[in-house]
Structure 1
Amino acid sequence: MKRSGFKTRARTVDHLGREQVADCPTAISELWKNAFDAYATDVILDIFDEKSPIAVVSDNGHGMNLSEFQDRWLVIGTESKATGDKVPKADRKGLQERVKQGQKGIGRLSCANLGPILLLVSKRSGEKFVVSLVDWRLFENPFLNLSDIFFPTVEVSGLEHAFERLPSMIEELVQNIEPNSRPVLDDSDTEYDDANRIAEAWNDFDNLPERSGGVTSKSIVKSIRELSFSFHHLSGWAVAQGTADSGTALLVSGINYDLQSQLLSPPFKQSVARTRKNFRETLASFLDPFVDADDQTLPDYFSDFSYQVRIWKDDVSKTIVGREIGISRRDVSQLEHCIIGSVDIEGVFRGRIKAWGKWLPDQVKILPATDVQIPTRADTRLGNFELFIAAMEFDYKNSTHEKAEHDRFREIAELYAGFMIFRDGLRVLPYGRSGDDFFEIDDRRSRHAGREFWNHRRMFGRIGITRAGNPNLKDKAGREGVIDNRAAKALKDVVVNLLMQSARKYFGTDAPIRKELLPDVVANKKQARDAEARRKLSDKNKKTFARNLKEGLEALPDLLGRLECAAKDLTIKNDADVADKQELISAFRDQLPPATIPGAPRSMSPRQQENYSAYRSQASQARNLYASVSRAVDDEVERFRPSDPLSVLQSQVEKSRNRISARVNHWQKLVRTLQTDEFKRILDLSDQRKTLFKAEAEAVLQLFKAERETFSSASAKLTKIDRDISEQNEDIFEPYVRALEGLKESIDLEHLATHGMEELAEARVELERLNSLAQLGIAVEITGHDLQDFDDIIASGLRALPSELSQTKAVRDITLGYEGLTDQLRYLSPLRLSGIKIERWITGAEIQDYIHDFFAPSFKKNQIDFRATEIFRGFRVFDQPSRLFPVFINLVNNSIYWVGTSRSAERTILFDVNSEKIVVADSGPGVATEDIENLFKLFFTRKIQGGRGVGLYLAKANLVSGGHSISYARDDSNQLLAGANFVIDLNGAEFKNG
């Protein structure tokens, strides 16, 4: 019996490394995960723009010593990965234990994907540097055994010595290709036989008919000897900077196309732009950006682990990828659609859903499809996983976002959109990348885009799995997703069902919520467009007013001078003078300016006000002077007796006709020019709109002809294109037609619009004045009330002083100064209504403490028990204190009054939370049923004295301005106390419990 076994060729390493890893970003991700496993807190990829560009992957992990490099790094499939050996506590650098990301012990071979030559430098704390030089092209030779290849490795005490030893290491590395350059003792030397065999292997390699990239043994040797690694390439490494005492740096020469593309400057070719985009969007979310940053249970690496990619040009670095550059959960949580929750081992989703900016009140439960079988065996089951998705309506008219916000989210989506998978917080590739459709999102959209709402390019989100909870979801060797086993199939089935059901129930064209809410959204968008049109008209009117004011001020002095000159000689002496004088009056009338200029803005600069005042004064003077001259001419005509009256009248008619014709011709020419230009614009626009449909429809037909679309999906797409373009055309042309119809009826559209805007502006100003007056009244009431309490306290203290002390000059001065100061504060404090509007997190505890301090004397005086529950103290909301605090002040101020009028022995004001809504309750008499409808109306009050009816009105106005709401509790569930119970729904509030 013979013993047989596998023999390993050198090219096995090439298969496992360069050829196995999907692409460059995936390779970098693998190296970063190795740094993560080494308990690094910083991992950096530096790309140097030089004649021969260099890339460096560096970290500040625990590093390696010589024995670890030889016994672990150079061993393929190390046992530590397979057995899950824990990293010693000393190597964790005081960090929490991390879940190991490496599984197969081949991630280090990803280096080969970055470039052919590697200089590895590693250091353990308190030990020497390990330096090794590797050329991955040696493994491409199919005629060599793995044992034929070696790498020169040295230990040095300092980094500078590493580069001093580099020339000798280079020559040693060359021995892998030119072994005959080593001295040989005699023909019997075993190294002599190995040298001949290796030389023959490289000769056979050079003669291969399909040699990769034209690489030869001589070209490899040449590139090795031309290596340009230097100390400055490690300028970004924490160990070289002295900020860390351990870590690993991987210096790569001959970097690949993906890395070189990051150094190029625009304009880019299409392939370069695509490569850069894929590179950056893949690495941007290396660490899960969608975790809840406020979650106290998160591992520390979510705050302590940093990654970035920098490019270096002329010793200046620029970060192109990093945690600070990408997105976060807080960024995308502002989107109008959102799903947050988890899926249990039975495939059931439980969580919350937001549609068109409104969170559904109840928890949502989505069951797996009936035809989906969830595996339950330990070696096939699918564990729990977290889900977070945020999305938007890409068609702006259907979106609740403002235009600027909508545009910003679309730009973010171009870079960071995608549906990803993260394991223990680190990205699992290729999920979420362009071209990956594991969950068949794009495939379903191609069949029915409206119903199948989700789209890779307009959704942000992730599935969060853990190695402990999902041990059966294992990576493929090439990091091209998870192995296609029962657990992976179950994950796909569960998520596909979840996406389909959520689209049909809440977001897609078949969703009842969409049909209910979309009309209001579209109507609001139309109002916004109308407001924008009014703004444009207002801007146009301002510019027209400024131009007319300038021209009027320039023309009026000359007109006044000519009128004054004409007034001196109005005598009619003969028949010809009659027509001349009357023509002169007509010419002056045509030049006469209006008493006011249309479109005058309500607010002007002091200079503009001064100019407009001067204009009106001069215009009035000109019109008065004209009237005087006109009357004088009329008197002269009445006095004069022409010799040939008919000829005089005919001459007057002729001159007037010529003048009128000249002016009308001027307007006709102007209108013709405008109509010609506008008609040409409409023709071009019409052609564009028709061509748009033709182009989009033709694209669908081509896909159908190429059998990339089914008949039903192509028909659905054509229907959607027809509907969308028809709606857009209606928005473009219908208002234009209506405007022309108005002109046909001689309706002055600009005057109507301007007049309407002026009336609206006046109404808004009046409303602002009324609101300010009401707020001033509330401030006077509250401030005066509290100052009276403090006045009583201080006055009581002064009266309690001993008589021999109270009569001293010092105490009399204090009393006099206090009384004067109180009077001034009573008068001035309500005027302090301005200030910087700062938004920040406000907690319930802060609100309770503020109200307690504010009303402490009132509570004590009225024997009121003011308290707040722990759930109230634990909630928080992001808003302006100046917006929220007055709301609670007004509510408590009312409660103090009404609790004081109650005959009940219980005197309580309570802050609580019910169904994630704030409840402000008191034990007073409550509000009569017939008064509830008027409760928040301005000036409505039932107080016998001291009430002005503005507190609740302003409370509601403040809340509405922040996107919140307030109502009076009518149902028993929110009536926490026997009196008045107000329910406040704070948009974006976060609650720890309940």
Structure 2
Amino acid sequence: IVSPVDDILNSDIDGDSGGKEATKIEKMLMGFHNTMTISHPEPLLNIVFRDYRSNDDTYIDLIDKEHFFTSEDFEQADHHFHGFFDEYGQFKGNIRIYHEKNFEHIVNWSGNSFNLTSCGPFEINLAYVQGDKKHSIMANEDYARVTSKSDKFGGLYIYKDNIRILPYGDSDYDYLEIEKRRSKHAGTAFFSYRRMFGVISLSQKDNFRLKEKAGREGFIEDQAYKNLRDILKNFFIQLAADFFRDDMKAGPKAEVWATKRNELLSSHRALEKREKQARVKKIKFETALNSFFENNGSGLIEQDINSILINGEQKFNNVYSIKNPDIASQKIIDIESQIRDEINIYKRSVLVPAPRGFIIRGELKEDYNTYLKAMTELETRCFQPAIDRIDKLVERAINDYQIKISKRKRLEQAVDFISVEAKKINIEKRKSTQQVVLDINKRVKELTSELMIDLDNQIRIVKDKFKHISVENESDLDLVTKRNELAAEITAVSERNTNVLDAVIRQLEGIYWEKDENNNYITSEQITDALGEELEVLRDRIHADVELSQLGLAVSIIHHEFNSTVRSIRTSLRDLKAWSEINEDLDGVYNNIKVNFEHLDGYLNLFTPLNRRLQRKKEEINLLEIKSFLIDLFKNRMDRHEISFKHTNGYSKGKLYGFRSSFYPVFVNVIDNAIYWLNESNIGNKTIRLHADDSGAVYISNNGSEIDARDRERIFSLGFSRKQNGRGMGLHISNEALEKIGYKLSLDEPRDGSTVTFKISMVEE
């Protein structure tokens, strides 16, 4: 353990609080061995640097392995360069561009006139990440993780017999002048020092002329070091020219990078444009949903419908002043149609159209499902009664004014009204559909025309090159090569056009629909949305399962280790008891330790029914046993928050049949949630009440915060929680656990004296 003797050491350790730059200590100690390349040699030492910032034995591991580049990071990078420089400084190795194309490549170096170098042969293994995410094939999370590391530790490290030579690799020590070349905007300056990470592997046997300085701050800058540096400078300049140019001077191998980069950029722009459009549509959709919930929650919708009916009733009353019975009867029919029309228009105004152009998921999907249910309830509670009310108003007007109106005429006018409305809506949609078809047709024609013009221009350019070719002075081999070069230029444009048109054809062929047996149409959009939604659910589930498996493993380890410790403490307590019997001064100490230990031991025993046993069996479980378990677990919290825990006579007689390890966690989760929300509600008489009925269903009620109508279904969705820092897993997992044994957890209508009631019941077959 080293304690700082100079304040400067603390500064070197802590560094910049911003965290983007590595501290001096990190730069010095990170990458002590090569651990980044695939199949790297086994580290000679396990280097640890712990910063104890307090006296409680807690520390920060400053050179955690995960903070530095890993083999996974190395493999995920966009480009890879691996090979050997021979004793003449000539490189021969493999270049992999975008994980798509491997090139066996040679880089010549003439700086030593092809004589033996002083530095000797060595190996290079380098990964490179594109500076712009738009040009990278890496996933967003991987790109963010690797570039954050490269900002701190990016560079080309030098290892001699797998021991790092300082300061090479330090992001501030650009010994190959890579950034200097970039600042000059030279055509060959593709590389950035902070976007590369890799190793130069030296050995004492082959590179003994490379001597370190006395202070171990790098190599002595003699001829051997000069050769090494010049070889590497030439290597990066030549690589940039051979593989990473997109101008007229670009070599044939650069086409892979340029084509893929442009493809990635085009895809990114298209995705960005689509996401922007989807974002606008999503905001509009969310606004409409929120407006609906606000109006529905405040009762405004029912008030507006009622206002329409009141105004309509007033209009019916005015018919009394019309003396001509024929005119009066027609007026009543007209008023009826007008009121129905007003209600229909208002109903359409509160409708939220199904989302188009984006996939709804998570809370937004739950909100939309809640909206659909609310609309169904409004139809039953508000809109349909309003229509019935119109019929009653008409009947009353007929009876009051003693006017005869043909029922056939009323029916005919009602059907005409519905027909006109239906046609109006469908005509609008037909126009929109036809316009979309015309737009797509126009765009496809423009695209095909543009592609053909590009191909025609390329053919003209190639033919124009004929005038610069001297056939008489060329050998047969040169003519074949030239023919292939010219043909390749035309073929490249032709293949690009073909790929684009194939993609368009696939998109157009993907537009289809089918009519099912119920005369409903199923479209490709519905299938795509369903698949997208399923994919998102599966992704969320994978993350949750990984997190839960890690949590379960941790609990299992804690339980196992704690059991061993408890046995040891029990033995020590027995020994202490013997001493306390002969020493009264120890008696108080013994009793205090014993009481606290028994309390701790009780918590350990609570794990027992929750453990997943290898030999578990179904059994009849008395509900009072479950309550006793819950009291043992939550008594202190309930006492602290002044919560009453009660049960009914029905509960005391009730039983469940199944696995304890399936039922107990469900009760624990629901009670834990109840305690949390009771404490948040700040009411006076906080109560949790258990009940069971004759059907075998169990009810868990509390009088805390009510559950919003929008949340009634989604509280069981994975990841949804209204708790601060809540994971949103408990109720979802509880419900799934019960479903596996033929039960379900649901939200029931609140029982008397309660605001929330959960119900555990058997699934009806």
TM-score norm. by structure 1 comes to: 0.35
Structure of larger gyration radius: 1
- Identify which of structures 1 and 2 has the higher relative contact order when contacts are C-alpha pairs closer than 8 Å and 6+ apart: 1
Q: Would you tell me which structure has more helix in proportion to its own residues?
A: 2
TM-score norm. by structure 2 comes to: 0.44
